[in-house]
Structure 1
Amino acid sequence: MCIIFTIIVLVIIITVPIVTAKTKKTNSEKTSITEEMEVTTEPTTTTSTTTSTTISTTSSTTISTTSSTTISTTSSTTISTTSSTTISTTTTINPCTTGNYVWNTSGITILDSSQVTHVVDIYIDSNNTLYITDEIASTVVWRLLKNATSATAIAGIKDSKGSSNTQLDHPQGVYVDTNGTMYVSDHYNHRVQKYINGSNSGITIAGLSESRGSSLNQLNGPRYITLDPTQAYIYIVDSYNHRIMRYSTNSTSGNNGTVVAGGNTIISLNQPWGLWYQPSVSSDFFITNYLGHSVIRWTPGASSSTFIAGVPGTTGSNSTLLNNPMGIKLDKYLNMFVVDQNNHRVQMFCANSRTGITIAGTGVSGGTPTTLNGPRGIAFDSNMNMYITDFGNKRVQKFLKL
């Protein structure tokens, strides 16, 4: 609101000349004029209102012999509120279904027969360190650091198989937990060994050393192994008992385990070999059925399973058949990678598909960069480069992700 007061006072004295604006007055004269102004004031008021986005006050006063006073006030208030909510959803596309899952078909040999013999399983930790079981004649577990060219034996005694706590006899599966504790299935000793803090002396946590059997405290030819995400339990492929066993990772020799798959007849599991289990992706077990030439999906607690790759009991080399599958891995999309041992190749099955795509090997045995000879194990590093234990060629092959 703006209020303007204008006061105009005219004082005329006949006997005295009119004083111009330049005439100087004393303080007493100014007081007299002021008193006269108070008598003859005729007020005039003007009001205006302006609204804008600012608040300002302007005041000015002018006094002369003809006195004029102007007071101007501008007041405005603006309230502005902006509210915005954005919801963003990102949908990931399975690269297998778009044809973007491709690896170089020519492998790079990272370990050869000058260092290793018949390599079996392979595990890669979060630092891209490789752990490789060497069945015979080495009978050890190798460790190959990232970008290294020479491996070190960290469990077992090279070329000396046995059943002591420092020896192994045809080691098969290997797994390393986040604490660096390593677990190894010792096939012909019918046990699983645990190595703590880099020790080369194993502790038997499952099975009875050199005592095969089918009781809950025994194993018979254990193959590949895995741990659950809590690292509280280890799952063991008890091959000749046609079952999957679960033990506490803190068990000791002779403790009873729990049957979590198979164990009834060989109709469901027939000498299983490989195992994948990751509850954050799927609550089911995925098992390679070596003599069943198939892959089985088994829900824990169920009495039977579902065949998801291959035809049970039928060997073959086309895209829907397998021949003695061994190693197995799945990704977060449930795309499945199967080492098809007797077809000398690696097959990729996109999620929910029973048609395999050959991503390594040619289906014919060979020792060239593009061929394999009885491969057994498979693993992926953090960049999805693929590593295969090429058993018959006594080497480890790396296939770069394209």
Structure 2
Amino acid sequence: MTNQTINTGGSTLSQIGLINALFIDQPSNNIYLSDTGSYCMPTYCYGSNNNRIQLWSLVPGTIAGTTVAGIGAYGAPGLYNAIATSYGLYVDLSGTLFVSEYGNHRVTKWFRNSVSGILIAGTGISGSNLTHLSGPRGVWVDGNGDLCVVDSDNHRVVKWSMNATSGILVAGGFGRGPFSTQLNSPTAIIMDVYDNMFILDAGNQRIQQFTPENNVGITIFDGSYNSGFGLNAQSMVMDSFGNLYVADYNGMRIQKIILITSSSCTG
């Protein structure tokens, strides 16, 4: 991927628009881009969106990506060959792509070389019961193959098993709030090899850890102190040492958070 790609917005395979999410597939040395924002130049935006997921090789000299999901047009709730704005991506070991569609209130699954996605969570209509999602963001697939979804506008995280028609509440879900059983507009999720969940609870400016089968969160980092990160923190990743990196949207920076823990993470 070249600097020119980053600086020149557009819709060709050598161009991208505003990127709303990233996922690095380390075994293949590829990066997946949620190219679902507007084409933006340094001084203005065109007002058009690519509405696609792009795969780029991280090998130096790569000059173009491959579209692996979406057809470059906005995806209405009943269409599965197109996608809406996405703030969450996940790729499993088989190369299957999971796309969280904020604008369509659903998560779709895309097998390698497929031209259409499969609905695996939500209905495409915003709602608050456990058959629906409302503004989903981050997604993660655990060691059992279950999908965990940050159901942001419902202030909760829900788990969907394979072929399930409804989710199971695993964090939050008791209304928007600051207490240990509540979340406030969460945006991202990471799970470690011990099935601990780390939730970027953006509206509360904190990171919450939930241990398996426990709906009481522990605040492991309070972003409201010392300008840690703002209310619009959008994304979070973890390195192989268990350190967290938060994309602080309003602060226009990435914050590294060093965790003192015996746990480790491989993804």
CA deviations 1:313-339 (Å, max 9, x no partner) are x4x7x3545442221122343222111
Question: Distance between the aligned counterparts of 2:260 and 2:117, measured in 1?
Answer: 40
Match of 1:198 among 113, 129, 132: 113
Q: How many residues align?
A: 238
Matches within 5 A, 1:212-291: 212-230=126-144, 232-248=145-161, 250-251=162-163, 255-267=165-177, 268-278=182-192, 280=193, 282-291=194-203
Runs of 4+ in 1 over 4 A off after TM superposition: 107-110
Q: Does 1:119 align with 2:19?
A: yes
Contact preservation (8 Å) 1:246, 1:260: yes
Contact preservation (8 Å) 1:294, 1:325: no
SS at 1:123's partner residue? strand
Question: Distance between the aligned counterparts of 1:273 and 1:244, measured in 2?
Answer: 10
Match of 1:307 among 203, 214, 219: 219
Q: Does 1:132 align with 2:33?
A: yes
Question: Distance between the aligned counterparts of 1:270 and 1:111, measured in 2?
Answer: 32
Question: Distance between the aligned counterparts of 2:156 and 2:115, measured in 1?
Answer: 29
The residue that corresponds to 1:328 in the other structure is 236
After superposition, the Cα gap between the structure-2 partners of 1:170 and 1:336, relative to the gap in structure 1 and judged at 3 Å, is: same
The residue that corresponds to 1:44 in the other structure is none
Contact preservation (8 Å) 2:233, 2:248: yes
CA deviations 1:147-197 (Å, max 9, x no partner) are 222112221121444331101111221111111111101111111101123
The residue that corresponds to 1:349 in the other structure is 257
The residue that corresponds to 2:98 in the other structure is 183
Question: Distance between the aligned counterparts of 1:110 and 1:127, measured in 2?
Answer: 21
Contact preservation (8 Å) 1:223, 1:274: yes
Question: Distance between the aligned counterparts of 1:330 and 1:182, measured in 2?
Answer: 19
| 1:110 Cα offset (Å) | 5.3
Question: Distance between the aligned counterparts of 2:4 and 2:149, measured in 1?
Answer: 30
Question: Distance between the aligned counterparts of 2:67 and 2:81, measured in 1?
Answer: 12
RMSD: 2.4
Instruction: Give ranges in structure 2 of 5+ residues lacking alignment.
Output: 38-48, 262-266
Contact preservation (8 Å) 1:180, 1:198: no
Contact preservation (8 Å) 1:323, 1:343: no
SS at 2:250's partner residue? helix
The residue that corresponds to 2:85 in the other structure is 170
For 1:329, the aligned partner's letter is V
After superposition, the Cα gap between the structure-2 partners of 1:340 and 1:283, relative to the gap in structure 1 and judged at 3 Å, is: same
Question: Distance between the aligned counterparts of 1:303 and 1:229, measured in 2?
Answer: 19
Contact preservation (8 Å) 1:286, 1:298: yes
SS at 2:188's partner residue? strand
Percentage identity across paired residues of the two chains: 29
CA deviations 1:27-46 (Å, max 9, x no partner) are xxxxxxxxxxxxxxxxxxxx
SS at 2:174's partner residue? coil
CA deviations 1:236-256 (Å, max 9, x no partner) are 1000111111112x326xx01
- With structure 1 as the length reference, what TM-score do the two structures score? 0.55
Question: Distance between the aligned counterparts of 1:144 and 1:328, measured in 2?
Answer: 20
SS at 1:291's partner residue? helix
Contact preservation (8 Å) 1:127, 1:146: no
SS at 2:103's partner residue? helix
For 1:130, the aligned partner's letter is I
- With structure 2 as the length reference, what TM-score do the two structures score? 0.81
Question: Distance between the aligned counterparts of 2:56 and 2:228, measured in 1?
Answer: 35
For 1:305, the aligned partner's letter is G
Contact preservation (8 Å) 1:292, 1:324: no
Question: Distance between the aligned counterparts of 1:326 and 1:109, measured in 2?
Answer: 25
| 1:146 Cα offset (Å) | 3.1
CA deviations 1:204-236 (Å, max 9, x no partner) are 011102x11111111111101111134x21111
| 1:264 Cα offset (Å) | 0.9
CA deviations 1:94-142 (Å, max 9, x no partner) are xxxxxxxxxxxxx966544241112111111111111111223111101
Question: Distance between the aligned counterparts of 1:329 and 1:192, measured in 2?
Answer: 20
For 1:186, the aligned partner's letter is E
SS at 1:240's partner residue? helix
If asked which structure has higher relative contact order (CA below 8 Å, sep 6+), I would say 1
